[in-house]
Amino acid sequence: MSLPFTVRRARTSDVPAIKTLIAPLAQERILIAKETVAYYEALPEFRVAEDADGALLGCGALHIMWEDLAEVRTLATSPPARGTGVGHALVEELLAGARDVGVSRVFCLTFEVDFFRRHGFSVMEDQSVVDPVIYSELLRSHDEGVAEFLDLARVKPNTLGNTRMIRRL
């Protein structure tokens, strides 16, 4: 089944719908719930998919972590949009955005391993993908996504057994 939809930059008016989209996934402990202010602060990172009537079908964010490294975050689709290409279109848009800003590696933390494999991601086995000097710089970040990428013990209660994956662009 295919739905007609478009992918675009998120707007401030999308934040309530993004929160609504993410809420059941956070309740299922698939995604981590965030405060409303965090969505507004991260708004430039978000892309959304909407149907012809303007209803939000999905969202995703690209968070830049370092010169050559970014993370796909908060990727979600509404239940009726699952399996219709919305998630695929969002990931492709985020990867295109990564290329546009010069990022050569994109990371994700996911339960949807097969989905991300179909998009060229592979499971990260160790931290050898990060130079030790850059690793020490990344340790200074207060961002939980960076801590997840570095596989730091302090985020283990929040990551719920997700798989760390990476793709080279």
Q: How far apart are the first and last CA of the chain?
A: 29
Residue 131 has a pLDDT of 59
Residue 140 has a pLDDT of 58
Domain containing 16 equals: 5-168
What is the pTM assigned to this prediction? 0.84
Residue 101 has a pLDDT of 97
Tell me the C-alpha distance between 110 and 74, whole Å: 10
pLDDT tens per residue, the chain (169 residues)? 566 899 999 999 999 999 999 999 999 888 888 899 999 999 999 999 999 999 999 999 999 988 888 999 999 999 999 999 999 999 999 999 999 999 999 989 888 999 999 999 999 876 555 555 555 555 555 565 555 565 544 444 444 567 888 999 9
Residue 19: name the closest of 52, 53, 51, 42 by CA.
42
E strand or H helix at 19: helix 15-27
Please tell me the total count of domains within the chain. 1
Tell me the C-alpha distance between 38 and 48, whole Å: 16
Residue 156 has a pLDDT of 44
Residue 158 has a pLDDT of 46
Residue 164: name the closest of 137, 139, 146 by CA.
146
